[in-house]
Structure 1
Amino acid sequence: MKQDIKAESSHSTCNAEVECGITSRLLTLKGEYSESKFARKCNIPISTMRKYLSGSMPGLDKALQISEALGVNIQWLSTGKGPKWASESQEEGARESSIDHSDDLYWSDSKSEQAIIDLLESTEKELNRVGQFPVTEAELNKNQILRDAKFQLSVLYSSPGMYPELKGQIELMLRLAFADPAIERSAADAMKKTHTRLKRASMLIETVSEAIGWEPPLDIKEAMKTAIFNDDLSEETVLRLMDAIYRAIQKGND
């Protein structure tokens, strides 16, 4: 795949009309190919590809589609950092698989954490300058800084190993500043899953309570519900735990 795409191009340096960002990297990947041929290689309609090459920001789903079609590392495409080609990323991962990276987790080391914080702060600064919440589509189309920020934040939100606190801040930024429908759907799905797990925990406690003939006190019931929710305990495990608690309480009362 790497041989199929010219890595260098006269477009590799951003001009006055297109600021450096994902657009410049797409132009680099395009190389000497015509727009129509490049669009076909990426499985993207030519009209849509022309917008991307002119400065429009692709959504995360389209960026992933392009990176998979071209064999490009999504992190490089979105941020310009890391190995350019997915194969290089995999080879690098294989070479380092035996190295202890416990102090250098992906998106969780101090340098990466600060970079994300800086991105959030610079995005907030630009949003305050623009003075629109959420940003309108028209403003996003003409503001390269916000387009790049939205895309990078979307990629980070989907990245593994993210600190929950940072992921929460990114989600808030995407929902409030950009009104990202994908984040809204993700939040709705997460809420639905949470409700399902809580319902399962309550039903499991009721089932086990009936099985052993004991209604646990509220504090024990809530503690068990938390354990079931967090650790996805099986009915057998819950039965053993509640039976052991019941027997301990009975023994203490004797």
Structure 2
Amino acid sequence: MSLVEIVHHNEVIYTILDKPPPEPPKTPRYESKLEKELKETKKPKLRRTFGYAETPVKPPEQFLKKGEGIGQPVKCTDHQCVGGNLPPVPRRPPPGKKEEKPQKNFKILNIKKAIKTKAKPVEPRLVDTRDGHIKKIKGSGEVPEYCLRPDFGRVPEYLVRRNRKIQKALEEIRLADQNKESLCKLISEEERQKLLKDLKNNWELMQKAFLQLPMLTDTIPKILRKTKMEQELKQLEKDIALVESNPYIYIYE
């Protein structure tokens, strides 16, 4: 048995396993050019102050001259001066005597007006207490008023008009009932025969369609259709028997 002593070696345990593949490089991030320009404009400007500590004064040579100051704003108007021969200004009438107004004697006018005016009628009143409480007789119920009216006991005019309208409507209804034709009408023999013929034709067509149905009715639609056609055939047979047995047939319009 022999022993091998390895003193110098370059083997590392971490390099035995295969290294994982390197990660792919990331794509560069999108950066907008406009954003950079905006950031540049938003940067505060240096050495900015609130203004001059003392307002600089202009030298005496630069004094304010005529027409250099701030004047009044000129108003823009659409007015245009009219030229040419204008009519002369009317002259003032010559001074003369004023028209004399007729003088009124108000005392005489008031006396005449007072003579012509009628006296105010005295309203009848009554005193019903010892303290002198005054009450108007009109509307108090002490004197009969309503029974003395000219229209007392008469039918009001609006009721008379309403009764006339009601009577007129009833008369129109009565006349309409008298002149009304009977709704029941007897059909002629020709119409009866034509009706019977049409019913028999319908029965034949229905019977033909019924015989063409399949013998096996194994589905619900087939059963429903067959049942419906049977009911229609029975109804047609009843109608035919009714028309044949009754020579006189009346119909309502």
Please tell me whether Structure 1 or Structure 2 has the larger radius of gyration of its CA atoms.
2
- Using the size of structure 2 for normalisation, the TM-score is 0.16
What is the TM-score with the length of structure 1 in the denominator? Answer: 0.16
More strand by share: 2
